[in-house]
């Protein structure tokens, strides 16, 4: 009689154990796989479209400085400032720290653009442009702009050999810091293209 009770108890314990394992298996099936990469936000494309316009104004400033067209550089800087207000940071798939970092970068770029517009000489405008270029490089990486490749160049022979960077939408070297110069100075440092 004791044997039957013990065997019956053992059977019940095994049955309960099997049911619990089966339920745990079901839970494991619905839990997310942490190794699966996150999907890119469908809104990233909308952000990139506006950011493309923002970058185009920057490229216009660069070309204008290269061609020593100060009024064209000023107009492009004004257009770039106007585009800042329409950058939809809320559409980025990013945490709040990244979005805040991007917004802080934009505030700095806006101040430097105003500084560039206020300068009257090419050399002073180029100093502001160097600061804008570095901040914009940081911004492109922060927002992970994915619509086109952004090329990051460096020339170590400008500003008394202190060097300066600029961004371009082309691999062709057109150094805005050496306008009208036959000296070719520019090293491709980085190519930024984030995948969607």
User: What is the distance between the alpha carbons of residues 69 and 64, in angstroms, rounded to a whole number?
Assistant: 5
User: What is the distance between the alpha carbons of residues 104 and 110, in angstroms, rounded to a whole number?
Assistant: 10
User: What is the distance between the alpha carbons of residues 156 and 65, in angstroms, rounded to a whole number?
Assistant: 18
**Which region among 28-32, 139-143, 192-196 has the lowest average model confidence (pLDDT)?**
28-32
Residue 83 structure tokens: 């585009």
What's the residue count for the chain?
196
Residue 31 structure tokens: 């839990």
Inter-residue contact 59 to 71 (CB < 8 Å): no
Residue 144 has pLDDT above 50, yes or no: yes
Structural domain boundaries in the chain: 44-192
Residue 2 has pLDDT above 80, yes or no: no
- pLDDT tens readout for residues 34-70: 333 333 444 577 888 899 999 999 999 999 999 999 9
pLDDT recorded at residue 43: 54
Residue 111 has pLDDT above 60, yes or no: yes
User: What is the distance between the alpha carbons of residues 54 and 49, in angstroms, rounded to a whole number?
Assistant: 9
* Residues facing 9 on adjacent strands: none
Closest among 153, 183, 61 to 114, alpha carbons compared: 61
- pLDDT tens readout for residues 156-187: 999 999 999 999 999 999 999 999 777 789 99
If one counts every other C-beta atom within 10 angstroms of the C-beta of residue 68, the result is 13
Q: Report the topology of domain 44-192.
A: 1.20.120
pTM over 0.85: no
């Amino acid at each position: 009689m004791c044997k039957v009770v013990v065997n019956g108890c053992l059977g019940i314990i095994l049955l309960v154990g099997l049911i619990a394992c089966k339920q745990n298996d079901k839970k494991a099936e619905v839990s997310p796989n942490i190794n699966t990469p996150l999907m890119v936000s469908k809104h990233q494309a909308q952000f990139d479209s506006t950011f493309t316009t923002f970058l185009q104004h920057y490229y216009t400033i660069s070309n204008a400085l290269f061609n020593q067209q100060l009024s064209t550089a000023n107009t492009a800087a004004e257009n770039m400032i106007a585009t800042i207000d329409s950058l939809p940071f809320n559409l980025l798939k990013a945490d709040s720290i990244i979005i805040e970092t991007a917004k802080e970068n934009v505030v700095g770029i806006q101040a430097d653009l105003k500084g560039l517009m206020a300068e009257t000489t090419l050399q002073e405008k180029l100093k502001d442009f160097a600061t804008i270029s570095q901040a914009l490089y940081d911004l492109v990486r922060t927002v992970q702009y994915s619509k086109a490749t952004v090329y990051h160049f460096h020339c170590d022979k400008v500003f008394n050999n202190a060097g300066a960077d600029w961004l371009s939408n082309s691999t062709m070297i057109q150094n805005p810091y050496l306008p009208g110069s036959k000296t070719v100075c520019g090293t491709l440092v980085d190519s930024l293209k984030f995948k969607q």
